[in-house]
Amino acid sequence: MEYFLQQLINGLTLGSIYGLIAIGYTMVYGIIGMINFAHGDIFMIGAFISLIVFLILIGLGVTWIPLVLLIVLLVAMLITSAYGWTVERLAYRPLRGSFRLAPLITAIGMSIFLQNYVQIAQGARVKSLPPVITGGYTLMEVDGFTVQLSNIQIIIMLVTVVLMGIFAWIIAKTPLGRSMRATEQDSTMAALLGINVDRTISLTFVIGAALASVAGLMFVLYYGVIDFYIGFIAGIKAFTAAVLGGIGSLPGAMLGGLIIGLIETFWSAYFTIEYKDVAAFSILAIVLIFLPSGLLGKPSVEKV
């Protein structure tokens, strides 16, 4: 039981990171019907920016960790949001009215470009960060096995819950949220009613990139190592989470992220780690057989 509880904590932590990334996928798809495969690499860029800013602040003598983390978070969100905005303007807006395969190919090309851009700029070697947030709580100890909940795990899960609450409020209660929902339902009619569709879509990319940068910071703090390839792996997992939960559904994206994180963690703990991805994609396939729209997704209606 104690081993199960420890893996549950680890799985929820990993799933929280996947969920934050998955929100970006489901937002873009829900509004413009495009799969932004470069979103995982935006997450990777956010992780690198967090690491670089953290090292710069430490080098300047700023050592109070709460202040350092706040500055790192704000700078990472700002710069990564600029990347998200640029990707939308350069790679997706010109192809918005094109045939559906063109944006998909462009997204893959943008993903490869961002990977190689970071590889050239930062090198191919793994970058590491010493533990910044240490300590935690011992929940139980049975026969020498200790169940621990670390402070960084608490922070990751709390940040995820808070961001989900804030974003749900933005979607439901703010003019930007109403513009997003109107654009999702019918972009042409939304434009006729005075909504700036281009700005709404750009802000969607910006918000998704900001959430990805938060996930990147959490990833760096939790694992302590990053490289230019983490965006591809995490992006595929987060996209799987978005599809599993129901592409286009924000609660579904978070639920899918938690499920993928739990599957990976429990499979690695009780079986062999080499096949954890097989297990995750197998669960995805089984769910989609019986629920083609995902766990919380709604069947899409083709407008004619």
Domain ranges, ordered by start, for the chain: 2-229
Calpha distance 97→108 (Å, rounded): 18
Of 299, 101, 121, 131, which is closest to residue 224 (Cα–Cα)? Answer: 131
Burial class (CB in 10 A: 0-12, 13-18, 19+), 235: buried
Coil, strand or helix at 10: helix
Low-confidence ranges of the chain (pLDDT < 50): 304
What is residue 297's predicted lDDT score, i.e. its pLDDT? 77
What is residue 121's predicted lDDT score, i.e. its pLDDT? 92
For residues 34 and 103, the answer to whether their CB atoms sit within 8 Å is: yes
Burial class (CB in 10 A: 0-12, 13-18, 19+), 120: exposed
Considering the chain, what percentage of its residues have pLDDT values greater than 70?
98
Q: pTM for the whole thing? A: 0.91
Q: Which tens digits make up the pLDDT trace of 23-73? A: 888 888 877 777 888 999 999 999 999 999 999 999 998 888 899 999 999
Residue with tokens 């495009």: 34
Burial class (CB in 10 A: 0-12, 13-18, 19+), 156: buried
For residues 137 and 148, the answer to whether their CB atoms sit within 8 Å is: yes
What is residue 29's predicted lDDT score, i.e. its pLDDT? 83
The 10 Å Cβ neighbour count of residue 298 is 11
Calpha distance 101→161 (Å, rounded): 35
Residue 189 vs residues 4, 63, 154, 169, 192: alpha-carbon distances, Å: 51, 52, 44, 24, 5
Residue 232 vs residues 39, 60, 142, 288, 290: alpha-carbon distances, Å: 9, 32, 39, 23, 28
What is residue 80's predicted lDDT score, i.e. its pLDDT? 95
Q: State the sign of the Cα–Cα–Cα–Cα dihedral 160, 220, 73, 46.
A: negative
Quickly list H helices, the chain.
Answer: 2-32, 39-59, 65-87, 101-122, 151-173, 175-185, 187-192, 197-223, 230-245, 250-270, 276-290
What is residue 26's predicted lDDT score, i.e. its pLDDT? 87
